[in-house]
Amino acid sequence: MSVLYNCPHLDQPHPPYPPSYPSSSSSFSPLSHLYFCEECDAIRCDQCVAVEVASYFCPNCLFDVPSANVRADRNKCARSCFACPLCKTSMAIQATETKSAEGSSVSGPPYLLVCPGCKWSSREIGWEFSKPTGLAHQLQKINTQQELVQSEFDALKDHLESYVSLSSTAPTYKSSSASRNPSRHISQLTQMAAKALHRDVPGMAASSARTRTRSLGFGVGKAGKEGPAEWDDLGEYKAKGSWKMIGLENGMQDVETMRELQETGGVGPAGLSSRWSNSWEADKMSKSMHPQRISLQTKSTKRCPDTGCRHLLIQPDAKGVRMKIKMVALNYVPSIELGRRKRRIQSGNLAQPTPEELERRRRDRRRVRGVVEEEDEDIRKRLQAGEVYNFQLAFTNPLYDPIQIRLTQPHQPKSAPTPNHLIFIPTQHFTVAALKDAWAYDDDEEEDDPMLGLEGSEGASEEGLGSVGKRSRLSALGSGSLRDKRGRDSGVDKKANTTKVGLEIEVLPGATGPVEFDLEVRYKYRADEPVHAEKEASGKEGASESIAGKEEYKTFTFWIRIKAGDVASA
């Protein structure tokens, strides 16, 4: 059960691909994860906003790390926060208890890192600290492995640098980088040819031949350090820590260990994720894994991705947990919830229905509504194929004006596979009252607010699925006297700024997998100030539909994806 909202990313609003296309799911997120740009009048999501890091902090000790230190610390907490190598819990620092002469126990150095979860202690790998603070700094002195790796890396860099700088000083290279047009290309070719002609013939000139063969891996034993002879060659690199140095026996050691392995888990080889970011070959056993410093996290500033807009959507306060700017979609777009599942009691007729049959049933259902029996069901239960379910969709209005909602099902692309269910929306048009202070709603109950009029529930259903009411909905706002009766009839339930409408889902016989579908929600609200047609980002009809008069109305269209549940496998 989930209701996800579509973010059009930077495109013009358009119906997303149906759920049967897995690519569409990336543009749907829960409402609470979405932002809203007022300038562009559009929903923005985490996949499209521009993110800037505002500050770094350690999630364990909550220390705000200055950004200057972050790079050197490799985005990890440089104080005393470590994660357990086995279970990733953050570790506690524990003093060693020693019995003093008087018999009372005294705690003091050495200090150890102990995992509160699995009781792993850093004594197992020989880590003991003299002070309980700044462990990461103390560790740098103990742990020399990192420096070995870094020195190998630096040596490699120096080695390659000679090649890079040589080949870049070669005249042939310069001409190739200077320009890429064909004529220069040819001239470069001729230069190459000339150079090749002037080059020593291998085997004739001894020195050049020797450097060549050496560079290719032959004649390893030749002593003497000489500069690379050719611009295009590289001398052999002597690794500081090569496989050869460890030797044959050690090389096959890990195979033998694996062969003799008796147990897995904490004593066997460590899992992939605990060693996949170590580029230097090391012991694979989990008992030799080291605690890792805890990764920092960021507070980020998010901006609208539109190149012409770039307004701030989220700006955190560096000092506290509040936001300076917070443009979340929750404050702009009605929130929709799915609930109250009912199952229709079937009366015989379980044969495989034909399309005409289904069509007829769909019509029938409407006529006999109210007569059929339904029973409440737990919404978490799996759906049964071949059953008809009734859900309630609750729309909550976050705006200070009442909104008019039109609910339709978007059209499917031609090539889409047929869905495993049918949807019927009994009430396609309805209003949701404005957000007010709690006590203001009580007064509303008495007075007959014309804005709450519910015209069109019947008219729309007559027009059928996916139809757009041709009449201006606003012209009908005045006739709200029928509200009570009709509201009950179509299963519309109104309370404060929430309106609940029904939704029928027929899970087709033989269906499997999740029952998911998209709905198009279009709502109309009173704009604060008159808007110009070109500012209307979302409305296809936009401002043109708004009636002439004092009040200007705007429409906003978005798409939601509802997952009603999974069909139980037969």
Partner 1 sequence: MTSNTAVPDPSSAAYSTPTKRAVISASAEAGPSRARPAGASPAYSSRRHSLYGIEDRVIIDPGSRIWRVGFSGEPDPRAVYWTQRSPDTEGSEAWTLDLAQLHGCREDRKEAERLISARCVRLARDAFTKHLMTDAKTRKVVVLENTFLPTVVKEQIAAALFDNLKVPSISFTPSCLLALAACGRITGLVVDIGWLETTITPVYCSRPLDHLARSTTLAGKALHDRLRLLLQHHATYIPPPASMSNLERRPVQPVPEGLLSDRLLERILTEGCFVGSINLRTPNMSFADTSDDADDNRLANMLRDRYRGSATATDLSFRIDPPESTGLGPGLLLVPGWIRERAAELLFGDDIDDEQDGIPESILHCISKLPVDLRPTLISSLLITGGTASLPGLIPRLRVSLLRLLLPSPSLPETGHPINSPAWRRAERAEWRKRHTEPFRSLYGLSGRLAILNDPAPLDTGDIDGGGLAGGRAPRWTPGLLSWVGGSLAGALKTGAPEMTRETYDTLFAHSIERGESWLAAQETAERDVAALVGVNIEDLKPGMAREGGLERKRGWKVGGEGIIGDWTRVVRAG
Touching partner 1, residues 378-397 (CB under 8 A): none
Told to check if 467 binds partner 1 by CB under 8 A, we report no
Which residues make beta-bridge pairs with 315? 325
Q: How far is the CB of 387 from partner 1 (least distance, A)?
A: 24
CB 55 within 8 Å of CB 299 = yes
The residue among 133 and 168 lying less far from partner 1, judged by its C-beta, is 168
Told to check if 418 binds partner 1 by CB under 8 A, we report no
CB 412 within 8 Å of CB 517 = no
Told to check if 27 binds partner 1 by CB under 8 A, we report yes
The CA dihedral of 426, 430, 436, 438, to the nearest 10 degrees, is: -30
Helix (H, G, I), strand (E, B) or coil at 145: helix
Told to check if 23 binds partner 1 by CB under 8 A, we report yes
Q: How far is the CB of 9 from partner 1 (least distance, A)?
A: 9
Told to check if 186 binds partner 1 by CB under 8 A, we report no
For 451, phi then psi, to 5°, come to -65, -20
Q: Using CB under 8 A, pick the residue from 271, 339, 466, 478 that binds partner 1.
A: 271
Told to check if 570 binds partner 1 by CB under 8 A, we report no
Which residues, 529 to 568, sit near partner 1 by CB under 8 A? none
Which residues, 36 to 95, sit near partner 1 by CB under 8 A? 46-48, 50-53, 56, 68, 70-72, 74-75
Burial class (CB in 10 A: 0-12, 13-18, 19+), 194: exposed
CB 486 within 8 Å of CB 457 = yes
Q: Using CB under 8 A, pick the residue from 92, 106, 142, 192 that binds partner 1.
A: 192
Q: Which residue, chain included where needed, has tokens 């690519």?
A: 23
Of the CA atoms within 13 Å of residue 71, those in its CB half-sphere come to 1
Told to check if 158 binds partner 1 by CB under 8 A, we report yes
CB 534 within 8 Å of CB 553 = no
Distance in angstroms (rounded) separating the CA atoms of residues 204 and 212: 12
CB 518 within 8 Å of CB 16 = yes
Told to check if 270 binds partner 1 by CB under 8 A, we report yes
Q: Using CB under 8 A, pick the residue from 106, 252, 568, 570 that binds partner 1.
A: 252
The residue among 106 and 192 lying less far from partner 1, judged by its C-beta, is 192
Told to check if 145 binds partner 1 by CB under 8 A, we report no
Q: Which residue, chain included where needed, has tokens 């200090």?
A: 111
Among 78-86, 154-162, 367-375, 396-404, the segment contacting partner 1 (CB under 8 A):
154-162
Told to check if 166 binds partner 1 by CB under 8 A, we report yes
Which helix (H) or strand (E) segment holds residue 317: the answer is none
Q: Using CB under 8 A, pick the residue from 216, 318, 345, 547 that binds partner 1.
A: 216
Closest CA to 491 of 416, 392, 401: 392
Burial class (CB in 10 A: 0-12, 13-18, 19+), 164: exposed
Told to check if 237 binds partner 1 by CB under 8 A, we report yes
Which residues, 398 to 417, sit near partner 1 by CB under 8 A? 415, 417
Q: How far is the CB of 114 from partner 1 (least distance, A)?
A: 23
CB 513 within 8 Å of CB 420 = yes
Please work out the total of residues on this chain that contact partner 1, with binding judged by CB under 8 A: 103
Told to check if 210 binds partner 1 by CB under 8 A, we report no
